[in-house]
Amino acid sequence: MQTIKQLLSGELAGTMSLKLSENLTSVPVEILSLADTLEILDLSGNQLTHLPDFLTQLPKLRIIFASNNLFETLPEVLGQCKNLEMVGFKENQISYVPEASLPAKLRWLILTNNQLQTLPDSLGQRPNLQKLALAGNKLTCLPASLVNSSKLELLRISANEMTEFPEQLLSLPKLAWFAFAGNPFSQSNVEIKSVPLVKKSSYQLQQVLGQGASGVISKAKWLSTQTDFPDEIAVKVFKGEITSDGYPEDELQACLKVKTHPNLVQSLAQVKDDGELALVMALIPHNYINLGLPPSFATCTRDTFSKGFTLPITKITKIVQQMTNVFEHLHDDQVCHGDLYAHNTLIDEDANIIFGDFGAATMYHMLTDYQQQAIKQIEQRALYCFIDDLLTICADKDKKSEDYDNLKSLIS
């Protein structure tokens, strides 16, 4: 993070990425001193309500973040920034998105956790739109124009107020990662009791193992002898009432609905105690590592991998077979994972996988047969992208093998 003092002194000359978070109520005009180089501007964590017109004088600006501010309207100046591709205004108070506020080259729009009730038709008139995050608003419908969003691949509409499924999405040719739990149309009266309830006083949290949008996972130990559970456990404590993917309760219920599978993180018990929602899980062996890394700004929706990381085609084939089995298991239980990615997959040296992170998962048994089949087809695209991503890290010596060709033919 940089400072206003550095900006004013000229110390930041030539900067391509600028992050200022100092409770700003206005954007300093001195940013124009970076006009020749600035591509990423992060103004998150301030007290801003407006953006200045001089942002149009930043010709290389591609990405702007202004999360955790006080905006009530998405600024129209954004639509005048000729090369702006990514707009992130989550956790503001935005209730109005003007038609003219969306840049012509818009590729990635994040409006999570605002006060939106409607969106402009111009959203479906942005031909490059690839990623759209709208969870945690008050939307009752989506623009009909989204039927034209032929490049849209990832969509989050969980935790809104839609009473009808937005069927204009079902014809989108590239939609692959879709989360829609927590809307009236997706409400379920099913109460999942596949695992028992336990008290949070029955275990003690130890070191943190990881955290994501929906919660923190820690190693834990039982405080008394347990005969029904393994000694080593992990506990995911969900964050707050809403996350970037939806409601924690929906994630918990989706986890429980899919029951057990050898390649899924095993759910052991649930906790609904003293205002805390948590999931007790089997501890993943220490020899498992992440298969992939999350998408970058450049890849947008596609996973990345550690530099130099490769796998032989035999291991890739084994991984694909396991993930395909997981996919069928999930959809047999009418659950869409919504985030089928290598970065949510753990792998050991023998290419055994454990798949997890149900933050974007949605139960869909309440939908029509046609809608259910379409949801499965959407997630099948995510599976094909998963396979395609793995083939990019295939060892060079295996790229002319029959197994490589067989996997390539699956997704072509």
Structure tokens of 8? 């004013």
Q: What is the SS3 assignment for 8?
A: helix
- Give the number of C-alpha atoms closer than 13 A to the C-alpha of residue 375, restricted to the C-beta side: 30
**Conformational region of residue 246, where left means phi above 0, alpha means psi within -120 to 50, and beta covers everything else:** left
Cβ-Cβ contacts under 8 Å for 191 (sequence gap 6 or more)? none
Structure-token match 């991998």, residue found: 305
In angstroms, the Cα distances linking 4 to 20, 21, 24, 162, 190 are 7, 9, 10, 43, 53
Burial call 230-244: b when 16+ CB within 10 Å, e when fewer: eeebbbbbbbeebbb
What is the strand order of the sheet 154-156 is part of? 17-19, 40-42, 63-65, 86-88, 108-110, 131-133, 154-156, 177-179
Structure tokens of 325? 């089995």
Distance from the first to the final alpha carbon of the chain? 43
Amino acid identity of residue 78, one-letter, is L
105 carries a ligand binding annotation? no
Got the DSSP string for 116-132?
-S---GGGGG-TT--EE
User: Given CA atoms 268, 271, 272, 273 in this order, what sign does their dihedral have?
Assistant: positive
Cβ-Cβ contacts under 8 Å for 288 (sequence gap 6 or more)? 346, 347, 348, 354
Q: Are 131 and 154 in contact (CB under 8 A)?
A: yes
Binding region: 236
Numbered residues of the known binding site for ATP:
236
